[in-house]
Structure 1
Amino acid sequence: MELYILRHGKAQEHTQNFAGDSKRELTEVGKKELCCIAKAIKNLEIDVDDIISSPLIRAKQTAEIIIKHVKSKKKIHQNLE
């Protein structure tokens, strides 16, 4: 078994006016970077069996981008307690 750990893409800046850290979304730059990473994963023919993500919006968006590009039918696992 091989385990790959991927951090979420670039997210919105944390400001005093922002509602909370868990609500920060990926920026357009972050989304583009993740598309490149996802394409590299596909080109390296890495089989993605499962994706585990935190419930934070930016982490879920990251997982969704990876699944979309590697054409995985696997679901994203969250809230693993």
Structure 2
Amino acid sequence: MHIPKLKRVKVSSEDELRNWLAKNAELRQDVMIVTCNKKSRDKHLSSNRVRELVREKGWNVGRSYTLVGNLEGHVVGHS
């Protein structure tokens, strides 16, 4: 599977994700939001929760990927 080479933004809480989305509302390129999987309970954001938060702010959600270690990537953008 080919993982796209996009700017990666690591977040470890809902508040961090909300803040980043608000600050970058005008960004017109796709990015990969990187979160920790269930193994990192204190920093885990479920894929469904990431999708909900992103859509609330008017962003589109693309494919999700399993990255190295305990990381997951979620492609988001305005396209």
TM-score range, shorter chain: 0.3 to 0.5
Q: Whose strand proportion is higher, 1 or 2?
A: 2
Give the TM-score normalised by the residue count of structure 1: 0.41
